[in-house]
């Protein structure tokens, strides 16, 4: 049942190229120029009338929502808020029929997300569910469903569901941009082409999966570490940190790189591992200055970046991991892969139960 893999998590990491392809299947026009979402109930009129979007989810699905926010704001220029479901409900959210609410849930059964969906509907919002289980409670109750086609996810640590959620958000953002006319046809076609290259790019990274193993063993003896990044790199940092905490029980914190010097920098001491995501060209220099700040305090820095920046960055960091080149907005679909593998190999090195970490359940049906 694990298809020759030692754990479901590793199997599911390796299923990501397939999950990407399946989630895109039938949703891109034959000429590769347009996104097609024929299952959507929402009319073009309704899409044009959206004034704001709220993305609501828990855990890893919330982290996908952070990237979704960047994608929608960047491509469709609609204001987006992303919230964890257990907070959203109790902050008397401002939600009405001008709001599109997007709930994200692998299982479709998460109690807080389901309750948030109901709250949003009671206030007149149209609710779109991005879910991996089409027969789930969330899929049943939502007004619209955009299914991720990742296949069943068994490991408690979510991997292929997260990356398929990113694909779903990219498709939906492009669809919004098409209907609302916020991007040119060329831009849309360019993003589609980049999306279609992702599965092969992930395969390439997975072919060298073990290159991260030594580093995972190295960090497994540490008690604390940091993940830093800016923009979508910060969103991926949060996902990488959660994955590591969840299955290796190593404490880590994900920080917006520019926020470090507002307090957290005090925790940086000799030898502490810092994993810096530096994939966003427009803020690369700023991230490099933040890397230098932690280096100057003795941190041991591993950078995740594009091949072309490795040589230069190695002047300021201790190690580098190169990811294939894609468009800035799509980098999370690649940069998260080494972080998933890092968590996996760290958990393995510590002899822990990778697929069933302590205290956690795959589906959280209590509030
Ligand atoms: O099924 P859901 O996507 O609604 O689950 C949400 C979270 O419970 C889930 O993503 C959790 O954070 C994972 N164990 C993370 O790997």
User: Residue 138 CA: which ligand 1 atom is closest?
Assistant: 4
Helix (H, G, I), strand (E, B) or coil at 340: helix
pLDDT of 9 > 90? The answer is yes
SS3 content of the chain, % helix, strand, coil (to 5): 50, 15, 35
Q: What is the pLDDT of residue 367?
A: 85
Give 366's pLDDT tier (boundaries 50, 70, 90).
confident
Complex ipTM tops 0.95: yes
- Whole-number Å distance between alpha carbons of 341 and 75: 30
- Which candidate, 130, 185, 115, 187, places its Cα nearest to that of 161? 130
User: Residue 162 CA: which ligand 1 atom is closest?
Assistant: 10
pLDDT per position as a tens digit, 161-181:
999 999 999 999 999 999 999
362 catalytic? Reply is yes
The answer to whether the beta carbons of residues 116 and 91 sit under 8 Å apart is no
pLDDT of 361 > 90? The answer is no
The answer to whether the beta carbons of residues 40 and 127 sit under 8 Å apart is no
Give 137's pLDDT tier (boundaries 50, 70, 90).
very high
> How remote is the CA of residue 172 from the centroid of ligand 1, in Å?
21
Q: Tell me the chain's radius of gyration from C-alpha atoms.
A: 20
Residue located via tokens 């948030």: 116
Mutate-to-test residue for ligand 1 from 106, 138, 248, 357, highest number of ligand atoms within 8 A of CB = 106
pLDDT of 363 > 90? The answer is no
pLDDT per position as a tens digit, 221-275:
999 999 999 999 999 999 999 999 999 999 999 999 999 999 899 999 999 999 9
Give 47's pLDDT tier (boundaries 50, 70, 90).
very high
Mean pLDDT of 137-154: 97
Output the CA angle 356-238-204, nearest 5 degrees.
75
Mutate-to-test residue for ligand 1 from 61, 164, 168, 244, highest number of ligand atoms within 8 A of CB = 61
- Residues in a beta bridge with 112: none
pLDDT per position as a tens digit, 318-349:
999 999 999 999 999 999 999 999 999 999 99
* Chain mean pLDDT for the chain: 96
Q: What is the pLDDT of residue 364?
A: 87
pLDDT per position as a tens digit, 177-190:
999 999 999 999 99
> How remote is the CA of residue 105 from the centroid of ligand 1, in Å?
7
Instruction: Please identify which of the residues 213, 245, 325, 362 carries the catalytic annotation.
Output: 362
pLDDT per position as a tens digit, 286-315:
999 999 999 999 999 999 999 999 999 999
> How remote is the CA of residue 206 from the centroid of ligand 1, in Å?
23
Percent of the chain whose predicted confidence (pLDDT) is above 70: 100
> How remote is the CA of residue 162 from the centroid of ligand 1, in Å?
9
- Tokens encoding 172: 């939906």
Percent of the chain whose predicted confidence (pLDDT) is above 90: 93
Nearest CA to ligand 1 atom 10: 60
Mutate-to-test residue for ligand 1 from 12, 57, 58, highest number of ligand atoms within 8 A of CB = 58
CA atoms within 13 A on the CB side of 147: 16
- Whole-number Å distance between alpha carbons of 358 and 246: 8
Q: What is the pLDDT of residue 55?
A: 98
> How remote is the CA of residue 65 from the centroid of ligand 1, in Å?
12
Strand bridging mode 144-147 / 99-105: unpaired
Q: What is the pLDDT of residue 345?
A: 97
- Tokens encoding 80: 């987006």
User: Residue 157 CA: which ligand 1 atom is closest?
Assistant: 16
Residue 95's alpha-carbon distances to 44, 108, 127, 161, 271, in angstroms, are 21, 22, 11, 27, 47
> How remote is the CA of residue 152 from the centroid of ligand 1, in Å?
13
Give 106's pLDDT tier (boundaries 50, 70, 90).
very high
What residues flank ligand 1, with Cβ below 6 Å? 58-61, 105-107, 110, 113, 156-158, 242, 246, 363-364
């Amino acid at each position: 049942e694990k298809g020759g893999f030692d754990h479901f998590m590793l199997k599911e990491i390796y299923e990501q190229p397939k999950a990407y392809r399946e989630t895109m299947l039938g949703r891109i026009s034959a000429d590769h120029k347009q996104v097609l979402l024929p299952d959507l109930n929402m009319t073009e009129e309704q899409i044009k009338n959206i004034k704001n979007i709220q993305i609501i989810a828990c855990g890893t699905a919330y982290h996908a929502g952070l990237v979704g926010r960047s994608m929608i704001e960047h491509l469709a220029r609609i204001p987006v808020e992303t919230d964890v479901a257990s907070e959203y409900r109790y902050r008397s959210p401002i939600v009405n029929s001008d709001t599109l609410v997007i709930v994200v849930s692998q299982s479709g059964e998460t109690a807080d997300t389901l309750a948030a969906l109901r709250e949003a509907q009671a206030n007149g919002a149209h609710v779109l569910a991005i879910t991996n289980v089409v027969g789930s409670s969330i899929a049943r109750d939502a007004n619209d469903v955009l299914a991720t086609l990742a296949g069943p996810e068994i490991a408690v640590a979510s991997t292929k569901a997260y990356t398929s959620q990113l694909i779903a958000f990219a498709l939906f953002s492009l669809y919004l941009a098409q209907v609302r006319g916020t991007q040119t046809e060329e831009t849309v076609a360019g993003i589609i082409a980049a999306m279609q290259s992702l599965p092969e790019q992930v395969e390439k990274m997975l072919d060298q999966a073990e290159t991260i193993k030594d580093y995972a063993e190295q960090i497994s003896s540490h008690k604390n570490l940091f993940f830093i990044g800016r923009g979508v790199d910060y969103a991926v940092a949060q996902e990488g940190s959660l994955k590591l905490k969840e299955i290796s029980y190593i404490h880590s914190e994900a920080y917006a790189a520019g926020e470090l010097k507002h307090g957290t920098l005090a925790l940086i001491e000799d030898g502490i591992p810092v994993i810096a995501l530096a994939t966003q060209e427009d803020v690369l220099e700023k991230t490099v200055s933040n890397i230098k700040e932690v280096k100057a305090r003795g941190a041991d820095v591993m950078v995740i970046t594009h091949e072309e920046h490795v040589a230069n960055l190695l002047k300021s960091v201790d190690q580098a991991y190169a990811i294939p080149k894609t468009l800035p907005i799509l980098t999370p679909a690649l940069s998260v892969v080494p972080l998933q593998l890092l968590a996996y190999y760290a958990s393995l090195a510590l002899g822990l139960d990778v697929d069933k970490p302590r205290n956690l359940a795959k589906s959280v049906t209590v509030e």
